[in-house]
C-alpha cells in the first residue's frame, strides 16, 4: 500500500482517480480549492483538504508524508469558459509550480501532471476531420491562448524538474474526457455533457429545438472517463518520461455526436446554430501511436457506449428535484 495525494480531487477526473486508487487498496489524501460540499465525489475515510494550492505553504502541508502526487488541479471548463477566462486559467501555473517545489522538499517519489490537447499548434487544427495530433505537433508552439499556454509551460517545468533535480515526473495530454459524475451545466461543462443535457431537457419539455455552438461541423475526439483513468495510472506506473496523448481516435463532428445522442434518447431535435459562440479549433483528434508503443495503452470504449452511460446519468440527475449542480456522491 502506498500513500497518494490527489490534487483536484473534488473535480471530475480527480474524483474518479481517487475511487480507483482506493479500490486498489492505497491510502489517498485529497485536496481541492472547492468547499467539500461542492466536490463531485467524497470519500469520508480519506483526509480531505479544502484549500488553495496556488499557495506554496498549502502545497508544503498536503505533500507531507505522501509517496506519490497526482496534480489534476486547474481552473478550467468547456470552450466557453476557457475563451473568456484566460488569465484565471493561466494562474493555475502557480499550482504546478508550488507543488513541484513542495515535492522536492518533502521527497516525493513521483509526480504526475495532467496536461491537455489544448497545447497543440492551432495551425494544425484549422480543418474538420484532421489527422490525429502527434505529441510532436505541440511545436512550434501556438497553443490555445491562456489555458493551453499554461499547460504547455507546466509540461516544460515537469521536464526540467526531472533534469535539474531528479524528480520523477509523468505527463499526459488529455483529449476531451467525459462521463458520469461531472459537470453538465453551469457554464463549465464540455460538449458531450452539454448536448446530453440539452436533448434531455428538450425531450422532457416537448420543445424540439436546441442551441448548438458553431455550425456543428467542428470535430473532436472524446475519451470516456474509465479509459482515461486506466491510461493515467498506466503512464504513472511506467518508466516513460515522455509526454503522451491520452485520447480517443474516434473523431466526430458535433452534428454527428448529436445524432448519436438522439438515438440514445429516442428523440429528434432541431438545431439552432449559434455562430457567434466560442467554437475553438476547427478539428482536433488524438494520434495514439506513441502511447501504444510506449505503454501499450489505447482507448477501449466507443463514443456511443460512453455517451449512453453519460446520458443516463445526467437524465437521473436532472430528474432530482433538488438538483442544483452542488451534489456529491457519498461513500
Residue numbers annotated as active site = 147
Q: Can you read off the three cell numbers belonging to residue 49?
A: 483538504
- String of DSSP letters for 298-311: ---S-HHHHHHHHH
CB atoms within 10 A of CB 205: 8
Phi, psi of 176 (to 5 degrees): 50, 70
List all residues 6 or more positions away from 59 whose beta carbon is below 8 Å from its beta carbon.
53, 95, 98, 99, 101, 102
How far is it, in rounded angstroms, from Cα 125 to Cα 181?
30
Q: Which of 13, 34, 21 is nearest to 325 (CA)?
A: 34
CA distance 194 to 277: 14
**Quick check: 14 and 5 in contact, CB under 8 A?**
no
Question: Are β-strands 47-50 and 244-246 bridged in parallel, bridged antiparallel, or unpaired?
Answer: unpaired
d(CA 141, CA 119): 8
- Residues 257, 192 contacting (CB under 8 angstroms): yes
Question: 22 near 28, Cβ under 8 Å?
Answer: yes
How far does CA 324 lie from the centroid of its chain?
Answer: 22
Amino acid at each position: 500500500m502506498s500513500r497518494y495525494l490527489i490534487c483536484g480531487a473534488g473535480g471530475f477526473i480527480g474524483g474518479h482517480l481517487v475511487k480507483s486508487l482506493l479500490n486498489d487498496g492505497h491510502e489517498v489524501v485529497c485536496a481541492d480549492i472547492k468547499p467539500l460540499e461542492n466536490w463531485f465525489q467524497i470519500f469520508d475515510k480519506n483526509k480531505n483538504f479544502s484549500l488553495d494550492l496556488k499557495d506554496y505553504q498549502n502545497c508544503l502541508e498536503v505533500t507531507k508524508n505522501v509517496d506519490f502526487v497526482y496534480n489534476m488541479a486547474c481552473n478550467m471548463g468547456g470552450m466557453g469558459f476557457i475563451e473568456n477566462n484566460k488569465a484565471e486559467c493561466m494562474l493555475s501555473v502557480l499550482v504546478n509550480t508550488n507543488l513541484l517545489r513542495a515535492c522536492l522538499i518533502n521527497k516525493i517519489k513521483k509526480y504526475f501532471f495532467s496536461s491537455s490537447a489544448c497545447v497543440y499548434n492551432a495551425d494544425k487544427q484549422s480543418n474538420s476531420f484532421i489527422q490525429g495530433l502527434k505529441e510532436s505537433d505541440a511545436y512550434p508552439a501556438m497553443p490555445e491562448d491562456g489555458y493551453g499556454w499554461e499547460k504547455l509551460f507546466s509540461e516544460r517545468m515537469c521536464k526540467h524538474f526531472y533534469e535539474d533535480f531528479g524528480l520523477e515526473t509523468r505527463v499526459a495530454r488529455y483529449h476531451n474526457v467525459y462521463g458520469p459524475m461531472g459537470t453538465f451545466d453551469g457554464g463549465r461543462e464540455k460538449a458531450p455533457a452539454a448536448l446530453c443535457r440539452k436533448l434531455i431537457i428538450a425531450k422532457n419539455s416537448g420543445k424540439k429545438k436546441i442551441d448548438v455552438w458553431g455550425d456543428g461541423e467542428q470535430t473532436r475526439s472524446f475519451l470516456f472517463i474509465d479509459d482515461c483513468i486506466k491510461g493515467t495510472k498506466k503512464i504513472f506506473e511506467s518508466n516513460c518520461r515522455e509526454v503522451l496523448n491520452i485520447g480517443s481516435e474516434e473523431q466526430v463532428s458535433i452534428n454527428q455526436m448529436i445524432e448519436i445522442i438522439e438515438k440514445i434518447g429516442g428523440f429528434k431535435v432541431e438545431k439552432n446554430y449559434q455562430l457567434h459562440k466560442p467554437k475553438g479549433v476547427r478539428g482536433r483528434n488524438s494520434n495514439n501511436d506513441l502511447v501504444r508503443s510506449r505503454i501499450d495503452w489505447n482507448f477501449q470504449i466507443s463514443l456511443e457506449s460512453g455517451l449512453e452511460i453519460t446520458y443516463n446519468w445526467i437524465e437521473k440527475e436532472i430528474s432530482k428535484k433538488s438538483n442544483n449542480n452542488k451534489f456529491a456522491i457519498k461513500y
